[in-house]
Amino acid sequence: MEVIIASPRGFCAGVVRAIEVVEKSLDTFDSPVYVRKEIVHNPHVVQELREKGAIFVDDIKDVPEGQTVVFSAHGVSPDVWRNSENRKLNIMDATCPLVTKVHAEAIKYAKEGYTILLVGHQGHEEVEGTMGEAPESTILVEDSEFARSVQIVDESKVVALTQTTLSLDDTKDIIGILRERFPTLVTRNDICYATTNRQIAVKAMASKVDLVLVIGAQNSSNCNRLREVASGFGIPAYLINGPDDISYEWFADVGKVGITSGASTPERLVTQVVEKLNPTSIQYLELVDENVSFVLPKELR
């Protein structure tokens, strides 16, 4: 068996920053540090931070008044901010700056009287946070079918924003349908650089292999999109959380295996998966050199 490993893969700048916000908060503040929701969508990352002392909660009401809370990389709605401030919490915002940009766009266009069509997935924390900025002005568009039927009061003032971790191809189709229906549509492609680069790398890799393993969490949007992109080439593609999820039955008559990992997946899991496969050779397919970084909140610099 041969293995081809795609690059870029693994941690993006937003994930690196979010993890560092939690770690620095633990070092900086004497009181307990609480994290609302998973800081990023990966159980290995969450467990490592929990072992270092972070306390993960699902709701702000579970954080005692006056304590430190970290908001996850996915962002939160204004209601969460207000509730946190009412509880006099010390807020450390680990929201990815590229998600914050989408929030700012939602606020801007809502103030200007636009209807916002937010392309994204129902229930995802990023979508909930963005919609919370202008709930009366925002309509969630999940797929092409809804894009063909969504009704707008003022078709002259419509803007399309997107979740940052979507499929490039699916989003292109949805935006195309919306543009046909609403010729004056303003579009803001908010899919982030990391999502874009990892999908491009998987496309290049999938044409060279018989099977693809995407390493990451089942609840990670960008990981699920990577698996879908690989499957689109007509080859088996599996989303695994680590080496223990591998089934050797998958590899009958498979000569080349492609491996990638999502933007919140630690690199050590890639190493462990490769070690378990024990291939005869390893190739690296490098397409883009990422050198993006984001500054920490001023309280932690």
pLDDT at 186: 98
Closest CA to 132 of 144, 143, 142, 120: 120
Closest CA to 95 of 13, 28, 166: 13
Closest CA to 215 of 146, 268, 170, 155: 268
pLDDT at 221: 97
Instruction: State how far the alpha carbon of 86 is from the alpha carbons of 61, 134, 159, 166, 238, in Å.
Output: 11, 21, 33, 34, 44
pLDDT at 148: 98
Domain spans in the chain, listed from the N-terminal domain onward: 2-11+193-286, 13-97, 104-187
Residues 174, 260 contacting (CB under 8 angstroms):
no
Residue 228 tokens read as 């879908």
- Which one is catalytic: 38, 105, 125, 126? 126
CA distance 50 to 36: 12
Three-state secondary structure call for residue 237: strand
Residue 186 carries which side chain, given as an amino acid letter? Answer: V
| Residue ranges in 207-248 assigned as alpha helix (H) | 221-231
**CB-CB neighbours of 262 under 10 Å:** 30
Which class would CATH give 104-187? alpha beta
pLDDT at 228: 98
Residues 26, 54 contacting (CB under 8 angstroms):
yes
pLDDT at 94: 98
Mean pLDDT in each 10-residue stretch from start to end of the chain (301 residues)? Answer: 97 98 97 97 98 98 97 98 98 98 98 98 98 98 98 97 98 98 95 98 97 98 98 98 97 96 98 98 96 96 92
Identical topology for domains 2-11+193-286 and 104-187:
yes
pLDDT at 71: 98
pLDDT at 301: 92
Whole-prediction pTM value? 0.97
Each residue of 22-32: b (16+ CB within 10 Å) or e?
bbbbbeeeeee
Q: Which CATH architecture has domain 2-11+193-286?
A: 3-Layer(aba) Sandwich (3.40)
pLDDT at 189: 83
Active site residue 126: yes
CA distance 109 to 159: 7
**CB-CB neighbours of 91 under 10 Å:** 18
End-to-end CA distance of the chain: 46
- Four-way CATH pick for 13-97: 3.40.50.11270, 3.10.20.30, 3.90.550.10, 3.40.250.10: 3.40.50.11270
